[in-house]
Amino acid sequence: MKFDPFYLIVDSTAWIERLVPLGVKLVQLRIKDLSDEDIRSEIRAARAICAAHDCQLIVNDYWRLAIEEGCDFVHLGQEDLAEADVAAIRAAGLKLGLSTHDEAELETALAADPDYVALGPIYPTILKKMKWAPQGLDRLAVWRKRTGPLPLVAIGGLNPERIDGVFAHGADSAAVVTDITLNADPEGRTKEWIRKTEAWR
């Protein structure tokens, strides 16, 4: 599976409507703190926009809603995974991406036969409080060896200046939130990310 090297993560369909038409090919809808019905509506609308723009949509956390809404890819963290019905996700034909932050989590993730593995936070992130220190680029190179042919996603504190480093250390895709969503010009920054990742596309 060829994974796009630019992995945008946003917290609403409004962002997807704004940024996906610029040429984004891989986007995660990561919503927290909405009712299930509101999340369902967001997923439904995001799915339609992504389909119209040939963009892969990945739904974070809400695997049941993703199945019900006919999505084809979910992302789960380790706590999500512990509570999820992976057999049901697979039976519905969905692909599965998993977060990892240490060796034990990598073992757990690989045992679940995921479609990609994410390692983070590579650099400090301001998006959420994390119990792990920044992993650094060398750790990414270790993960590269451990994950074999599986797509490897780098996440946490990434920006266009750090892109070359993560790819040089074995990442297949660079995931980003605040460098784009808190940027003064999110559209311009998105285009910059698309340009900067072109060599790995």
Ligand X SMILES: Cc1ncc(COP(=O)(O)OP(=O)(O)O)c(N)n1
Residues that bind Mg ion (CB under 5 A): 61, 77, 80
CA atoms within 13 A on the CB side of 56: 20
99 is a contact residue toward ligand 3NM (CB under 6 A): yes
Stretch that binds ligand 3NM, among 82-90, 107-115, 152-160, 189-197 (CB under 6 A): 152-160
Q: Tell me which residue has tokens 């451990």.
A: 146
Question: Binding partner of residue 153 among ligand 3NM, Mg ion, ligand X, none, CB under 5 to 8 Å per kind?
Answer: ligand X
Produce one character per residue of 27-56: b if its CB has 16 or more CB atoms within 10 Å, e if not: bbbbbeeeeeeebbebbebbbebbeebebb
169 is a contact residue toward ligand X (CB under 6 A): no
Q: Closest approach of Cβ 17 to ligand X, in Å?
A: 20
Position closest to ligand 3NM via CB: 120
- Residue 28, strand partner residues: 9, 58
Task: Identify the residue among 13, 26, 60, 166 touching ligand X (CB under 6 A).
Answer: 60
Stretch that binds ligand X, among 34-42, 48-56, 75-83, 137-145 (CB under 6 A): 75-83
Count of residues that interact with ligand 3NM, criterion CB under 6 A: 15
CA neighbor of 98 nearest in space, from 56, 61, 57, 141: 61
Q: Which chain residues interact with ligand 3NM by CB under 6 A?
A: 99, 101, 120-121, 125, 127-128, 155-158, 176-179
Q: Which chain residues interact with ligand X by CB under 6 A?
A: 28, 30, 60-61, 75, 77, 80, 99, 118, 120, 128, 153, 155, 175
